[in-house]
């Protein structure tokens, strides 16, 4: 009885209660998730800043907001007020704007949502309401094809074309500084926007903009609320100086059930709560039992899960052709869904009878399986039943850096390119110096094909089939060339392979990748290092930048990336920096930068003293331009 009484009281306490929070320059923004360019600066929420061209920023409340009371079925009303400050750095070219938005929880990560898409849409879904679940009030400062004017406030419902719009005049040219009030009434299903002076503490009686919409029909029952801002060609300051938000639940006339039925609802809820408690207890016991069972099935300590073959057959629909993501040198890769863990996975099926494939399998499990870092591809598990070797990875929905960098239909914007470079530097710092196993791990095949991108375009370094722990299992008498044409360090192919792969050879490969990210050119199509070095020698480094970017990049960042790329890809291994120096240079931290010669140095063997140019080294590769005995697949790639 005491438990029943407590449950009834808890149930009644949770009925018709709303959410309220308030932030300003003195109260802190501790429960706000900040993504992209967003950060807190002196008590002000910055969504972009004066130097953030082609950037997006998001700031959202860190808990879900219910739009419907789970017990009574009543729809929610809400009132929010916030102080918005927008300042153009160039009053001639402005952009792009800021929004207050509600969307599905958690917020869906999008590919290239900056510029005119305001951080909420993409080129593919901007006009397709069936793909979106978002309602927004936009403060738009740049006129795109779908905009009626330059400076306006609009209400967007599931696409970027505002259903209602009203011009907004600047009191000061290039500056918007107002307090905005957004009020949604569940009673009349109307969203209202009002504007006032920043000092006002009362919602204005005059409505600036309104639109009749039933939020429960266009949004899910639980949403995320917050702000987004984006810039395109021009930088613009987007700030929120204060934010208050509260919800209440609509009048009982809107509730689907009568008031007299509430006690019955509470009773049903109590019984369901007891049942759910018992069910969760049983499920918890099952998970503990299963974890112990899986641990027993693993035959190596600290390694990922050992899966049963039938689990992977079910996950991939018996390796159905429709789930095939691609084919590498050692076998195909399939997309799968693990029902027990609700994880999307990529399953690499290594070819039978391949001795090299078996070695790759063991290396991948023993190396990647022991490492945990946000910028390494996560190896979930493995299987060696029925004469097959399978590796199970976390699925990467955006494929490889190689596929996206050269995609004819999508452009990888500069801010994300620079983030990817930092991600890779972090991954190499971990492998070379910081991993918890205190081992120096040499990857040996760093290239865009082995850099995978998650839903937020965060980079994950993968494919560890060639990786080695220095001083553990790598012989100085290695005879097989390792790496991929265009990315492999020149010293690996001299003196019949007696120079073993090292952190310096990884640095060389990373340097080539940096140049490729900045220039948008494949190193196998031309001598990329030579190409960039020639432009550097003529003081024309920006002319080597990717033409598809059309100059939309941070000049200091792209020059720094190419400079560091040349530093890393120096023909002399002893002249290359450590990954720690590379990371510091990319982050513009204090470090000593070298003075590059105006022409590319010629490689000189440290063992024989013989000089080589790039054409001589290229002949050591096979004719199709791949690594010797290597797969070029990207796990989870599109």
Among all chains, which residue has been given the structure tokens 């700030």? 239
Q: In a 10 Å sphere around its CB, with 0-12 CB exposed, 13-18 middle and 19+ buried, how is residue 637 labelled?
A: buried
H or E stretch at 158 = none
CA–CA distance, 226 with 467 (Å, rounded to integer): 43
Q: Considering only CA atoms, which of 83, 106, 105, 63 is closest in space to residue 247?
A: 63
**CA geometry: angle at 210 spanning 205 and 211, to 5°?**
150
Produce one character per residue of 21-33: b if its CB has 16 or more CB atoms within 10 Å, e if not.
eebbeeeebeebb
CA–CA distance, 305 with 378 (Å, rounded to integer): 12
Q: Considering only CA atoms, which of 497, 507, 447 is closest in space to residue 474?
A: 497
Task: Tell me whether residue 445 is one of the annotated catalytic residues.
Answer: yes
Strand, coil or helix: 30: coil
Q: Considering only CA atoms, which of 576, 567, 571, 565 is closest in space to residue 491?
A: 571
CA–CA distance, 15 with 20 (Å, rounded to integer): 15
Strand, coil or helix: 293: helix
Contact 383/309 with Cβ under 8 angstroms? Answer: yes
Q: Considering only CA atoms, which of 157, 155, 210, 214 is closest in space to residue 183?
A: 210
Q: Go through the chain and tell me how many residues it has.
A: 638
Q: In a 10 Å sphere around its CB, with 0-12 CB exposed, 13-18 middle and 19+ buried, how is residue 372 labelled?
A: exposed
In Å, how far are 50, 235, 287, 376, 553 from 94, measured between CA atoms? 12, 7, 54, 38, 16
Residues near 577 by beta carbon (within 8 Å), at least 6 away in sequence: 507, 564, 567, 568, 585
The secondary structure of residue 50, as a DSSP letter, is T
Contact 172/198 with Cβ under 8 angstroms? Answer: no
In Å, how far are 41, 284, 449 from 453, measured between CA atoms? 30, 33, 11
- Which member of 445, 449, 463, 546 is catalytic? 445
Q: Considering only CA atoms, which of 243, 259, 247 is closest in space to residue 66?
A: 247
CA–CA distance, 128 with 292 (Å, rounded to integer): 47
- The tokens for 140 are 């738009």
Contact 388/350 with Cβ under 8 angstroms? Answer: yes
CA–CA distance, 612 with 604 (Å, rounded to integer): 6
Catalytic site residues? 445
């Amino acid at each position: 009885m005491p438990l029943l009484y407590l449950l009834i009281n808890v149930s009644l306490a949770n009925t018709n209660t709303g959410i309220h929070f308030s932030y300003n320059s003195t109260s802190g923004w501790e429960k706000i998730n900040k993504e992209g360019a967003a950060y807190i600066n002196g008590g002000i929420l910055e969504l972009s800043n004066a130097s953030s061209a082609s950037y997006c920023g998001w700031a959202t409340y860190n808990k879900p907001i219910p739009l419907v009371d789970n017990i009574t079925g009543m729809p929610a009303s809400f009132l929010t007020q916030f102080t918005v400050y927008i300042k153009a750095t160039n009053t001639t070219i402005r952009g792009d704007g800021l929004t207050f938005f509600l969307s599905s929880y958690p917020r869906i990560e999008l590919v290239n949502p900056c510029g005119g898409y305001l951080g909420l849409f993409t080129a593919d879904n901007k006009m397709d309401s069936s793909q979106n679940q978002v309602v927004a009030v936009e403060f738009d400062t740049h006129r795109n094809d779908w905009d009626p004017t330059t400076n306006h406030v609009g209400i967007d419902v599931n696409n970027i074309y505002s259903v209602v719009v009203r011009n907004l005049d600047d009191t000061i040219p290039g500056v918007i500084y107002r307090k905005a009030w957004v009020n949604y009434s569940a009673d009349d299903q109307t969203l209202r926007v009002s504007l006032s002076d920043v000092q006002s503490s009362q919602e204005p009686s005059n409505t600036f903009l309104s639109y009749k919409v039933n939020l429960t029909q266009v949004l899910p029952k639980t949403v995320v609320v917050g702000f987004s801002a984006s810039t395109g060609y021009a930088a613009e300051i987007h700030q929120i100086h204060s934010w208050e938000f509260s919800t209440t639940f609509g009048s009982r006339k809107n509730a689907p059930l009568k008031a007299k039925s509430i006690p019955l609802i509470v009773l049903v809820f109590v019984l369901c709560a007891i049942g759910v408690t018992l069910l969760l207890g049983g499920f918890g016991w099952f998970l503990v039992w299963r974890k112990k069972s899986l641990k027993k099935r693993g035959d190596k300590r600290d390694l990922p899960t050992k899966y049963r073959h039938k689990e992977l057959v079910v996950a991939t629909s018996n390796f159905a052709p429709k789930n095939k993501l691609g084919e590498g040198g050692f076998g195909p890769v399939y997309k799968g869904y693990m029902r027990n863990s609700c994880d999307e996975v990529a399953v690499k099926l290594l070819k039978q009878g391949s001795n090299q494939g078996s070695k790759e399998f063991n290396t991948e499990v023993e190396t990647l399986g022991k490492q945990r870092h946000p910028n390494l591809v996560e190896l979930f598990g493995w299987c060696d039943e029925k004469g097959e070797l399978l590796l199970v990875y976390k699925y990467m929905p955006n494929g490889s850096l190689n596929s996206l960098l050269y995609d004819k239909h999508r452009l990888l914007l500069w801010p994300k390119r620079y983030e990817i470079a930092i991600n890779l530097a972090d991954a190499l710092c971990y492998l070379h110096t910081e991993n918890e196993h205190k081992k120096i791990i040499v990857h040996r095949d760093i290239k865009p094909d082995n850099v995978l991108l998650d839903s937020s375009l965060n980079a994950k370094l993968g494919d560890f089939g060639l990786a080695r722990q220095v001083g553990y299992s790598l012989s100085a008498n290695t005879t097989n060339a390792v790496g991929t044409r265009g990315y492999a360090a020149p010293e690996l192919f001299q003196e019949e392979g007696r120079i073993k792969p090292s952190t310096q050879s990884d640095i060389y490969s990373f340097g080539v990748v940096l140049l490729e990210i900045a220039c948008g050119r494949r190193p196998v199509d031309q001598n990329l290092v030579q190409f960039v070095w020639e432009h550097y020698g003529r003081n024309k480094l920006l002319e080597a930048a990717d033409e598809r970017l059309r100059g939309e990049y941070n000049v200091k960042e792209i020059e720094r990336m190419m400079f560091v790329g040349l530093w890393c890809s120096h023909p002399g291994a002893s002249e290359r920096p450590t990954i720690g120096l590379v990371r510091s240079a990319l982050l513009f931290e204090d470090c000593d930068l070298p003075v590059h010669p105006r022409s590319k140095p010629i490689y000189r063997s440290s063992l024989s003293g013989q000089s080589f140019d790039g054409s001589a080294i290229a002949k050591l590769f096979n004719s199709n331009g791949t690594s010797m005995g290597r797969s070029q697949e990207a796990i989870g790639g599109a």
